[in-house]
Structure 1
Amino acid sequence: MVDKKLDNDVAQFCAITGASARDAKKFIEAHKRLDIAIDAYYNNPTAFASSGRQKSSTAPSTSKLGQLFDSYKDDEDITVNGTIKFCEDLEVDPEDVVLLAIAYELKSPQMGVWKRQGWVDGWKSIGVDSIKGMQGAIPRLRSRLASDPEYFQKVYNHTFDFARSEGQRSLGLETAIAFWNLLLPLGLSGGALAHVTTSDGDDDIKMDEEGWKEYQWWFDFLNQKGIKGVSKDTWVMFLDFIRSIDSKFSNYDMEAAWPSTIDDFVEYGKERLASGA
């Protein structure tokens, strides 16, 4: 049973990180838990590297990353034109959800803006210093964003500040819906947004396929109510809502500390369920 679990963990580790089975086993055996092992790998992928790989690997070059940054920058920062050229070189659509993970890793302060320090530190943390290396990192970042709940939440929360207009406290509704439409399908399909429940007195998380997934209803509700902006509280708590509330809203507690907008949505959702719409 233990061997089978280890084999399953190794397979999942390799699928998420792109690491070899030998390296995956070393990380898992060292850190015991799969999620901790994956985080450790992303923090230092060569910590348990196979000998052949370790010899050929070198630390990312600050100089190379600086030169690459300079090739895209406009004045001090990389801005819209440089971002477009960067996406072309990466062969990635500027609206690809993986760029939200890159924005988180590189601490991009807003859409289309990249700071030198964040660029250098971020790519060094990922472990690459060339366009080819960055292209290779994209599938790993996409897979991690899709499947790792903690990583998804970090990227999701960063997206609110990244997407918000300068000086605004809330996120415009159209913008919020556009980013939800990027993030939610990926997280739901990859497992990062899998519905979980915990029984009273039981710390074990249990998977439940009857989680709430009709996020288009949420968009319909916000539009019908005439909501102009989404607060950070609503943005953050909506992620908890998807992960914890069942498909019929039966475990939703109106007395809990949910934003009033989500309270109103649950009433809307229950009425919609009752009408069969």
Structure 2
Amino acid sequence: MISTKDAKRFLAEYKRVDIAVDAFYNEPVQARQASIPQPSTSKLNALFDKYKEPGGDDITVDGTIRMCEDMKVDPEDVVLLAIAYELKSPRMGDWTRAGWVDGWKNLECDTISAMSSALVRLRDRLGSDSEYFSQVYNFTFEFSRPPGQRSLGLDMAQGFWNLLIPHGLQGGALSHLTRPAGSDDEGDEDDEMMGLDEEGWREEYTGWWFEFLTEKGGKGVSKDTWQMFMEFVRTIDAKFEKYDMEAAWPSTIDDFVEYAKERLGTAS
């Protein structure tokens, strides 16, 4: 699609619309791309310097808060997890210069206004694109895990689940899959078609999951449980009837299914 700037450039050069259109489509793609202004490294470095710690090399918590104020975004907005993924943040509230410059360049931003617009696009993509949601979801465990720890604290895990799971459910990134991912049996096709209207994970179940983990008394969430929980949410039916106890689910999820079935039985 031709931009307004390119349209004006070609019209000014060739004077006639038909000739200008032919010239546009005959011009090499690389040449057209070269005419599009690229994000400025100096502008991005200047913005980084504005937010980084005085005398330090990184943007930390205080700079992150100022950045969010300028972008008019809540620091606890789920889209900040997508930004952390895009900018390769090493840990919460911490941004390196290299990640900042390369990340914003990839997003084609070098001003606060452009960055604010990118947040809108990324928030929508995070909610609607299942593959992108998975990438950000799995990254969240790595960047939020305390250095030297193999697991994520229960309170912190619940906080991130509270951001990610509702967003994915509402936007469609966590839409219910009627057949477990990775199943290649052609014989399952009829079952899959019969399950097209099957109800999946309900938002209230996220609260049940938190209550179960709290009652269980565990202090942390392992990487395996974190990653598999996302797939569990995508594939489990609303009555927990099609859960395969013989499959390679973490034991924590096995136990939760029994817990959920008991709650459903009590409710009915």
- What secondary structure sits across from 1:165 in the alignment? coil
Q: Which of 213, 221, 234 is equivalent to 2:225? A: 234
What is the one-letter code of the residue matched to 1:149? S
Determine which structure has more spread, i.e. the larger CA radius of gyration. 2
Structure 1, residues 102-133: CA drift from partner, whole Å, max 9, x if none?
00000001111001111111111111111111
Q: What is the alpha-carbon distance in structure 1 between the residues aligned to residue 153 and residue 116 of structure 2?
A: 32
Does 1:62 pair with 2:51?
A: no
Instruction: State the partner residue of 1:4.
Output: none
Structure 1, residues 13-42: CA drift from partner, whole Å, max 9, x if none?
xxxxxxx8x99xxxxxxxxxxxxxxxxxxx
Q: What is the alpha-carbon distance in structure 1 between the residues aligned to residue 189 and residue 64 of structure 2?
A: 44
Can you give the 5+ residue segments of structure 1 that lack an aligned partner in the other structure? 1-19, 24-46
Deviation at 1:56, TM superposition (A): 7.5
Instruction: State the partner residue of 2:23.
Output: none
Can you give the 5+ residue segments of structure 2 that lack an aligned partner in the other structure? 4-27
Does 1:114 pair with 2:95?
A: yes
What is the one-letter code of the residue matched to 1:193? L
Deviation at 1:146, TM superposition (A): 0.5
What is the one-letter code of the residue matched to 2:175? A
CA gap of 1:174–1:141, structure 2 versus 1, over 3 A, is same
Deviation at 1:57, TM superposition (A): 3.6
**Contact 1:69-1:78 within 8 A present in 2 as well:** yes
Instruction: State the partner residue of 2:236.
Output: 245
**Contact 2:81-2:140 within 8 A present in 1 as well:** yes
How many residue pairs are counted as aligned between the two chains? 231
Instruction: State the partner residue of 1:174.
Output: 155
Matches within 5 A, 1:192-203: 192-198=173-179, 200-201=185-186
Q: What is the alpha-carbon distance in structure 2 between the residues aligned to residue 208 and residue 115 of structure 1?
A: 46
Does 1:260 pair with 2:251?
A: yes
Q: What is the alpha-carbon distance in structure 2 between the residues aligned to residue 135 and residue 255 of structure 1?
A: 47
CA gap of 1:72–1:172, structure 2 versus 1, over 3 A, is same
Q: Which of 38, 62, 69 is equivalent to 1:88? A: 69
Provide the aligned C-alpha RMSD in A: 2.5
Q: Percent of aligned positions with the same letter in both sequences?
A: 64
Structure 1, residues 204-249: CA drift from partner, whole Å, max 9, x if none?
9875550122111101100111111000100000000000110111
CA gap of 1:86–1:203, structure 2 versus 1, over 3 A, is farther
Q: What is the alpha-carbon distance in structure 1 between the residues aligned to residue 70 and residue 35 of structure 2?
A: 25
**Contact 2:178-2:198 within 8 A present in 1 as well:** no
Deviation at 1:163, TM superposition (A): 1.5
Q: What is the alpha-carbon distance in structure 1 between the residues aligned to residue 41 and residue 208 of structure 2?
A: 47
